[in-house]
């Protein structure tokens, strides 16, 4: 995967997602408003900083964007069920397959993960007085393999369809396949737009 000028990438991204056309889901031909911003995982640190900067800039412009970090969400779910300390204590000695199965049960998308994101959307609306205009999802690489990006996307289709959703993906997305880290085929996913190809001009 090629290295990118991350600052320039996010300047363009800011221009795209701050436009009325994007926020009002125009020009999508009836498709769900899901977008993927792929990036080289080697540049994770730079991208993380730019995501926070993007979130702040949108807020300054009066655009309420909910930023969901999947790693933070995973910790939140474990804490809610009083499992975080137990997992941390047993991680070193527990069989990896048992740990994987245990975490997958806690992080089941349909029963736990998506309802928690829906709760975050509601809490954000209560806090800000208005519902978020878009949702940003990051931390995909940090939660692999316990949470898979295609599983998140498939389950979010019913939870988030009234506002744009932008997922930051450390790998390659060609409009058909999600290739995590540029090395692992996560799964096919056809319903998201590659944000690089989205024309946000009015």
Ordered domains of the chain (ranges, CATH): 6-172+181-197 (3.40.50)
User: Which residues, including other chains, have CB under 8 Å from residue 167's CB and lie 6 or more apart?
Assistant: 34, 35, 36, 37, 136, 137, 138, 140, 149, 152, 153, 192
Please report the pLDDT score of residue 187 as a whole number: 62
Rounded to 5 degrees, φ, ψ at 49 are -65, -40
Residue 66 has pLDDT above 80, yes or no: yes
pLDDT tier for residue 60 given thresholds of 50, 70 and 90: very high
Please report the pLDDT score of residue 128 as a whole number: 76
pLDDT tens, residue by residue, 22-53 = 999 988 888 899 999 999 999 999 999 999 99
pTM here? 0.89
Residue 161 has pLDDT above 90, yes or no: no
A 10 A CB-CB count for 75 gives: 14
Please report the pLDDT score of residue 51 as a whole number: 98
Between residues 30 and 18, which one has the greater pLDDT?
Answer: 18
Q: In whole angstroms, give the CA distance from residue 99 to residue 87.
A: 8
Residue 200 has pLDDT above 60, yes or no: no
Residue 171 has pLDDT above 90, yes or no: yes
């Amino acid at each position: 995967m090629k290295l990118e000028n991350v600052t320039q990438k996010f300047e363009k991204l800011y221009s795209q997602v701050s436009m009325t056309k994007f926020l009002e889901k125009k020009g999508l031909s009836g498709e769900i408003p899901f977008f993927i911003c792929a990036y080289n995982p080697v540049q994770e640190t730079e991208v993380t900083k730019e995501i926070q900067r993007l979130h702040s800039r949108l807020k300054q412009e009066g655009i309420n964007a909910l930023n969901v970090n999947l790693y933070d969400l995973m910790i939140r779910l474990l804490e809610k069920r009083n499992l975080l300390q137990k997992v941390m204590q047993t991680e070193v000695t527990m069989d990896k397959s048992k740990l994987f199965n245990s975490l997958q049960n806690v992080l089941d998308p349909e029963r736990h993960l998506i309802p928690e994101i829906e709760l975050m959307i509601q809490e954000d609306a209560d806090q800000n007085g208005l519902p978020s205009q878009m949702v940003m999802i990051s931390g995909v690489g940090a939660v692999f393999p316990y949470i898979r990006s295609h599983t998140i996307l498939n389950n979010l289709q019913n939870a988030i369809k009234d506002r744009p959703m932008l997922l930051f993906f450390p790998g390659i997305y060609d409009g058909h396949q999600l290739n995590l880290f540029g090395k692992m085929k996560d799964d096919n996913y056809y319903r998201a737009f590659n944000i690089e190809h989205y024309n946000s001009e009015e």
